[in-house]
Chains A and B, each alone.
Chain A
Amino acid sequence: MGEMNELTTTWFVVIGAVKVIAIFSVVMGAVAYMTLAERRVSAFIQDRLGPNRVGPFGLLQPIADGLKNVIKEETMPGTAAKFYFVLGPALAIMPAVITFAVIPVAAPLPTPVGTVDMIVADVPIGILYILALSSLAVYGIVLSGWASNNKYAFLGGLRASAQMISYEVALGLSVIAVLLLAGNVTLTEMVWQQQQLGLWFVFPLSLAFIFFLISALAETNRLPFDMPEAESELISGYHTEYSAMKFSMFFIAEYSHVLTASALMATLFFGGWDIPLWTGDDMFRHGDGWIRGFDAAGAPIPATPHVLITLLTLGAFAAKTAFFVLLYIWIRWTLPRFRYDQVMHLGWKVLLPAALGYIMLIAGTMLVLDQLGVPFGFLYGAVLTGVSGVTTVAFLFFVDRDRVISGAHRKRDVARRRVTATTGVDGGAVSN
């Protein structure tokens, strides 16, 4: 069995403080550079150069932007509800920056004073903590929209509240499928279960991942779900009246949400810090030590934490998270914005019933597998992968039949065919 080396209380406090400061700094730094990445990637997609003047490759741009935001003049609308106007950005940023605390970022790190979990707070409720805090994120947006005393800001705030409540339901239901398979709610345990299954949850729960991806996009208010901002309709929605650092706080909140959602997708569906096709990094707290798994007789196989493993797994986690951040940016600059009724339709009439049905399917399949006595392992995951794969293809086929979110060309075709069928004359291009 691997060495345990429990931390003493003093060291626990010291290392806890170091972890808090380190994770917070890294998240803030990542957020700053995500703004640069967004601008550079969007420039690449639109065949422009993007910001490249400040420092090499524009790498100092976020610092210049931050400085600008700090020294800019703060404006306060004369008719705003002042207390709530100031409270709004604070409430928006608070849940965004503290959700990262429960996400494990790497394998345990051995130090001279004991083995350190690479997670700020391994709370027993794990994912529920994230869901609870992200459900509070809506207050900052709604309150600032209301307190601005501006029609456009208010409409943005109302849209945000309706949209975030709607998609919270689909988000929660997609997570339930993961909870069913992992059998636990802590994120460290979920990473461990994916290592034991020999498959990342994205394979046995492919449809849940798609639901999670869509809902997370809607929860972070990013295109194609940025109805609360909708520049072409609402100026810039709930933060129309904000300037300088208060405006910047909304942006920090949005990018922190994107980062947390990306890290969550990596953790829930892509093995977290797990390195694919290698069991050497599998590690979990069991009894008094660290184990790699169980052998055929059910005896635990010990594992030894190593600095190199910690660094490699940290790299794997960072790479997965960075990929999803890039995916977010890619989606934003590729897809057009939904109409508001389409957003509501997709949330309530497509994702909610589909996610409910999918949970029944996964629970039923797992019940059958458990009754047949299939052990939790590769075969178990393979059967679920098959079932989920078929369901995912069926769902995508259903959604893509233009019945849910149809493009304008499709409606024209349908209208033309209807005219042709009733009159016998080619209807031509009928508008609408």
Chain B
Amino acid sequence: MTEIVFVLFAVVAVGGAIGVVVGRSPVASLLSMIATLASVAGIYVLFEAHFLAAIQVLVYAGAIMVLFLFVIMLLNLGHDYRADVKYGLWYLLSLVVVGLTAGALLQGFMGTGATGVRGDGAAAAAAIDAVVAEKGVVGAIADPLFTDYVVAFELTGLLLLVAIVAAVVLAKPRT
């Protein structure tokens, strides 16, 4: 049962990813990307990473992609997108990038054996279950985030704040 659902999500995720690249209009590409993000969230649920799945949908599919859609509709209306498609050397370059990424992924997968998990998968799953039972699905992520990794977390927040301030300064008309 789980395998059937996984294959379903995986097919939609990969199909959506291909759709992003080959889509004829930006809106089609964007919808394909939402399908991919939602399917990946579904795969997270199969891994029982419920919190990650919810955040994936909430932040990426529900907020960032809405902004993308907003920008595409507001700024690029009536623009001929076919002129943007680059040929020749760009084809070759993208092929190289895709090939290298696929190779790296394949190499990582080869070392895992039949289960697809590095090391003792059952022990890792049991350890995660113990943490979730103790702290809940949100606490399992929030606890390390706000103790062990709090400096990195706060720095990320600061970086985003700087970006927002910069965007406001750039967008503000000079008086």
Contact = CB atoms under 8 A, between A and B. Distances in A.
A142 interface: yes
Given A142-B73, A158-B73, A132 B62 contact: yes
Interface in A161-176: 161-162, 164-165, 168
Contacts of B11: none
B66 to A, nearest CB: 6
Contact of A135 (B63, B74, B137): B63
Interface string A102-140: 000000000000000000000111001101110110110
A157 interface: yes
B109 interface: no
A128 B58 contact: yes
A135 B54 contact: no
B136 to A, nearest CB: 7
A128 B63 CA distance: 14
Interface in B47-95: 50-51, 53-55, 57-58, 61-63, 66-67, 69-70, 73-74
A24 interface: no
B138 interface: yes
B27 A136 contact: no
A136 B38 CA distance: 10
Q: Which of A139, A146, A162 has the most CB of B within 10 A?
A: A139
Given A158-B74, A162-B70, A84 B55 contact: no
A129 B50 CA distance: 9
B141 to A, nearest CB: 11
B114 to A, nearest CB: 28
Contacts of A168: 62-63
Given A135-B61, A161-B66, A146 B54 contact: no
Contacts of A143: 27, 31
B133 to A, nearest CB: 11
Interface in A142-167: 142-143, 146, 154, 157-158, 161-162, 164-165
A314 B54 CA distance: 28
A185 interface: yes
Interface in A33-62: none
A138 B61 CA distance: 11
Contact of A124 (B27, B69, B73, B136): B136
Contacts of A162: 70
Contacts of A133: 57
A388 B73 CA distance: 42
Given A129-B54, A132-B57, A133-B57, A138 B73 contact: no
Given A123-B50, A125-B51, A185-B138, A131 B66 contact: no
B12 interface: no
A125 B137 contact: yes
A128 B31 CA distance: 22
Nearest to B56: A132
B34 interface: yes
Nearest to A133: B57
A96 to B, nearest CB: 14
Contacts of A161: 66, 69-70
Contacts of A184: 136, 138
Interface of B: 27, 31, 34, 50-51, 53-55, 57-58, 61-63, 66-67, 69-70, 73-74, 136-138
22 contacts: A124-B50, A124-B136, A124-B137, A125-B138, A128-B51, A128-B54, A128-B55, A128-B58, A129-B54, A132-B61, A132-B62, A135-B58, A135-B61, A136-B61, A138-B62, A139-B34, A139-B66, A139-B69, A142-B70, A143-B31, A161-B66, A161-B69
Interface of A: 84, 123-125, 128-129, 131-133, 135-136, 138-139, 142-143, 146, 154, 157-158, 161-162, 164-165, 168, 184-185
Which 6 A-B residue pairs are closest in the complex by CB-CB distance? A135-B62, A128-B54, A132-B57, A132-B58, A124-B137, A125-B50
